[in-house]
Structure 1
Amino acid sequence: MIKVKVRLRPIVSKLNLPTVLKTTILPGDSNESLFIATQVGEIFYIRNGAIRTFLNISPRIMKLGVSSGGYDERGLLGLAFHPEFYYNGLFYLHFSSAGTQGPGALPGTFESFKPNPCDPGTLNLKWINRETQYDHIDTVEEWMLQSKGQPQKRRTLLNVRRPFLNHNGVNSLNFSPETGNLVLTTGDGGSGYDPFNLSQDDMEIAGKIIEIDVNKHVFIYDPPVVTRFNELPAPIQETLTVIAKGVRNIPGISYQRLYNQYIKYAGNVGQDLVESIFSFVHYKPIPVPQLIQASLMNAEPDQEGFINFGWRGWEGAFPTSIIRGCSANPALDEKTIAYYNEAVKTSVRRLEPLTSYFHKDPRPDKFGGTALTGVQPYMGNEIPDLTGSVVFTDLARNEGSPPPVKGVLAYTGIKADHKPNDFGVIETDYDFGAQSAYYVSLGTNLDQTKLFLGVYGSMKVADRNQGTVFEIVP
């Protein structure tokens, strides 16, 4: 892959952690404005170089970073504008609701659960007492920009109880240009290694890519709090189809137009080994009522053409592994297959990644990564070496180098034979000085000719006002 060099041009700084970056055209306007949603609940937009507040829902967001030493994966995670936003003013939010803090599904195991292949009890855990043993509730809402320019909530689309504080998705709401539906990407519910195997269970909302038909049954205002599709009232079930399962955690889905079809890209954040980017064109979504019908009859729904990313049996192209240090040689690691039976069961059903990158990579032109934070196609001409390719971001280089920490930009592309592809690192010229620079989000404008990068000076959302948004330029 050729070496690509870019510049980072700062647009706005001293923000809270920017989770979503996207543009839209405001009603009555002629130019796109850049919208920035922060994890703590603010939504800003930049128009003619000036930053303005669009909406602040921070009182409705749960208190972040309290139970986890400042780090958190909850908050305002999704913002999407209706394709007809210019005319109807509709937009959608996904956030972790204030006042819903619970003790967690396995108290004390945030991120620390590990299966033990020698102990079957750890391989078949069940999430029980869900109404009391959960971490928080995530809410998806529909809002409307009133004619006077004031946003107002219209209705709640979903209330989902989540087992742990992590893996709730990020940039989790996007509209499909193919179907016109709202697409919700949900992580597997969190902890580590998906302890309850929610991502492969067809009835679980966790670990899926879901389409919501927002034009159907628009008069349901108060859905119940659920964890499974079959707990939803029938009219809500009828608005939902499932595109994919086997998701661990996902920084949204993006669409690249190619002639008369769309390539879909979705990244899956890895466990300890590898980060993966998937692409697909053809797929067969399954309507939720059909999934429920199959479940009631103890039958397998027809999964031909249904997308499965393979988690928790597979971490990208590898069987999910537990990594232990080798006692005889600390420089080496021993890798044990975590869930052998599941790796076998999902081996032929899963989608192979388009590209993968590793947490440890000895190759000189690559990098060791930490967590995938964004995947976006670039269709512009200003950076010709990237035209038509897919750009992605990693939170922080994992190379044991001394601080400050810095994130990574990289790119890949679709090969004519659709086989897995390599990736290349994109070099940036920006000097962050002694400040850490975690790459937390990636966004584009409407026609994907511009790229925006969200950077934060800390891993902790509780460390305020350390965010900068850049445009990636030649």
Structure 2
Amino acid sequence: MIKVKVSLRPIVSKINLPTVLKTAILPGDSIERLFIATQVGEIFYIGNGVIRTFLDIRPRIIRLGFSGGRYDERGLLGLAFHPEFYYNGLFYLHYSVAGTQGPGALPSSEVSRQGLPEFFKPNPCDPRTLNLKWINREIQYDHIDTVEEWILQSNGQPQKRRTLLNLRRPFFNHNGVNSLNFSPETGKLVLTTGDGGSGYDPFNSSQDDMEIAGKIIEIDVAKNTFINNPPVVTRFNELPAPIQETLMVIAKGVRNIPGISFQRFYNQYIKYVGIVGQDLVESIFSFVNYKPIPVTQLIQASLMKSDPDQEGFINFGWRGWEGAFPTSIIRGCSANPTLDEKTIAYYNDTVKTSVQRLQPLTSYFHKDPRPDKFGGTALTGVQSYMGNGIPGLTGSVVFTDFARDEGSQPPIRGVLAYTRPRTDCKLNDFSVIETDYNFGSQSAYYTSLGTNLNQTRLYLGVYGSMNVTDFNQGTVFEIVP
């Protein structure tokens, strides 16, 4: 693949950790503005080179700083503008709700056996660890996420209109990020949600058709359910019928996900989905045709104890598969510390999903000795680029990794890379995009990637720390030739 070099042009700096970068045209305005959502709960937009506050919901956001004020995957995670935002002022938020902190989903007996529940590992020799159930969900959970509809009123003040979903989450991590996007094909709101967290999907939520976790869900926001405060749920069959009727499931088998991106291809759209890996590999999937299943149909099949028709339904394969590999656990080799033993973690899950699953478009690895590649840690953004400004990238799929794993000392650097669409279902190659920006001695974690409405411009969110409680260390760049 050709080597592509770009520059990073700073747009705004000294902000909190940027989770979503999108553009929209404000009602009555004529210019597309860049909107920036931060993990702590602010939404800014850039107007005439000045940063302005669009909305500040920090008091609504859960207190961030898991395990003593460090890394966290909760907060303001999704922002999407209605396709008719210019006319109706509607936009949508996904965030973790203040005051909902719980103890977590694994009782203390499990915790003492496994270590911290956030870092659960299955033991193929111990069937109990392969078949854990999430019990006492009303009290054993980490937090509650909400998806809300807001409106920009004629006086310029945003106001909440209604709550679409309240989701109880078992652990602090894998809630998705850039989790709300509108489909240009269906006009519906797409919610991308992770498997609920910990590691290795201990409850196999991603493959369970009744679990809301680990899915890509379409919400028909045109149907107003008039249920002002829906119940807090974890499963589709716990939702009131009017809400069930607004939902379709596009895909399952999701571990964690930095959103969905749509690339126009003649009169169709290619959908790109990045799935964050466990120990070995990060993967990007693509698909054109799919057949979503109405939630009412999934519930009916569950009641009848039958399998719904899953022809054309997308399955990314987790937890049996991590990208193109059977999911494995890693044990150090005592005889040779430079080698690791990789054991299949969930053999039965791997076999069961081997035929149903979609193959990745491309994968990159946590360790990669090839000179022109890199060791990654976590995929944080996937966007298609349709502009001509950076000719080497036109029509390609650009992605970001949180932090390059060089096994070296700080400062840390994120990675920008790209791959190309292909239609023959073979695993595709990828190439690092070289940047000329000098971050100096400051770390630079790449936290988010965004585009404008017609995908001719790319935006990159960078943070100087991996800790959400280290404030005002964020910069948003435009990626330019």
Task: Tell me how far apart the structure 1 counterparts of residues 65 and 421 of structure 2 sit (CA, whole Å).
Answer: 39
Counterparts in 2 of 1:63 and 1:192: CA distance versus 1, 3 Å: same
Give the match for residue 95 of structure 2: 95
Superposition deviation, residue 221 in structure 1: 1.3
SS at match of 2:144: strand
SS at match of 2:206: helix
Counterpart of 2:17?
Answer: 17
Alpha carbons of structure 1 residues 66 and 118: separation in structure 2 relative to 1, 3 Å = closer
Matched residue, 2:177: 170
Aligned to 1:148: 155
Secondary structure of 1:29's match?
Answer: coil
String of CA shifts for 1:92-128, please: whole Å, max 9, x gaps: 0000000100000015534310000000000000000
Note if 1:395 corresponds to 2:397. no
CA-to-aligned-CA distance 1:34-77 (integer Å, 9 cap, x gap): 00000000000001111000000000001000535411000000
Which residue number in structure 2 is paired with residue 125 of structure 1?
Answer: 132
Number of residue equivalences:
474
Aligned pairs (5 A) from 1:23-172 = 23-106=23-106, 108=111, 109-172=116-179
1:246 aligns with 2:253: yes
Partner of 1:228: 235
Alignment check: 8 A CA contact 2:206 2:252 kept: yes
- Selected match of 1:383 from 369, 384, 390: 390
**Partners of 1:90 and 1:405 in 2: CA distance:** 38
Task: In structure 2, give the amino acid aligned to 1:65.
Answer: G
Q: Is 1:340–2:351 an aligned residue pair?
A: no
The corresponding residue for 2:193 is: 186
Distance (whole Å) between structure 2 residues aligned to residue 256 and residue 218 of structure 1: 31
**Which residue number corresponds to residue 317 of structure 2?**
310
Letter in 1 for 2:58: S
Displacement, 1:301?
0.3
Paired amino acid for 2:24:
T
Match of 1:214 in 2: 221
Whole-angstrom CA distance in 1 between matches of 2:8 and 2:425:
31
Task: Judge conservation of contact 2:179–2:191 (CA < 8 Å) in 1.
Answer: yes
| Local SS of the residue matching 1:27 | coil
Distance 2:259 2:327 in 1: 22
1:284 matches 2:291 = yes
Aligned to 1:371: 378
Q: CA deviation at 1:472?
A: 0.2
Give CA deviations for 1:250-297 in whole Å, capped at 9, x if unaligned: 000010000000000000000000000000000000000000000000
Name structure 2 gaps, 5 residues minimum: none
- What root-mean-square deviation, in Å, do the aligned CA atoms of Structure 1 and Structure 2 show? 0.8
Output the CA distance in 2 between the equivalents of 1:218 and 1:327: 59
Letter in 1 for 2:70: G
Encode CA deviations 1:194-250: one digit per residue, 9 max, x unaligned.
000000000000000000000113422110000000000000000000000000000
Counterparts of 2:389 and 2:232, CA distance in 1 = 47
Q: 1:325 to 1:189 in 2, by over 3 A?
A: same
The one-letter code of the counterpart of 1:53 is: T
For residues 182 and 378 of structure 1, what CA distance do their matches in structure 2 show? 22
Take 2:118 and 2:396, find their aligned partners in 1: how far apart are those partners? 33
Q: Which residue of 2 aligns with 1:459?
A: 466
SS of 1:401's equivalent?
Answer: coil
Q: Which letter maps to 2:121?
A: K
Alignment partner of 1:473 out of 467, 473, 480: 480
1:289 aligned counterpart, secondary structure: helix
Give the whole-Å Cα distance in 1 for the aligned partners of 2:98 and 2:191: 20
Matches within 5 A, 1:353-368: 353-368=360-375
SS in 1 for 2:299: helix
In structure 1, the residue matched to 2:265 is 258
CA shift, 1:24, in A, is 0.3
The answer (yes or no) to whether the contact 2:225–2:243 under 8 Å persists in 1 is no
Give the distance between the partners of 1:318 and 1:416, measured in 2 at CA.
21
4+ long deviations beyond 3 Å:
66-69
Gap runs ≥5 in structure 1: none
Tell me if structure 1 keeps the 8 A contact 2:359–2:425: no
Tell me how far apart the structure 1 counterparts of residues 264 and 427 of structure 2 sit (CA, whole Å): 20
Kindly provide the CA deviation profile for residues 179-206 of structure 1, in whole angstroms up to 9, marking residues without a partner as x. 0000000000000000000000000000
2:419 equivalent in structure 1: 412
Counterpart CA distance in 1 for 2:343 and 2:147 is 38
Alpha-carbon distance, 1:420 to partner = 2.0
| Contact 1:110/1:190, CA 8 A, preserved across alignment | no
Question: Which residue identity is paired with 1:175?
Answer: F
What TM-score do the two structures reach when normalised by structure 1?
Answer: 0.99
How is 1:404-443 mapped onto 2 (pairs within 5 angstroms)? 404-443=411-450
Write the distance in 1 (CA, Å) between the matches of 2:127 and 2:211. 22
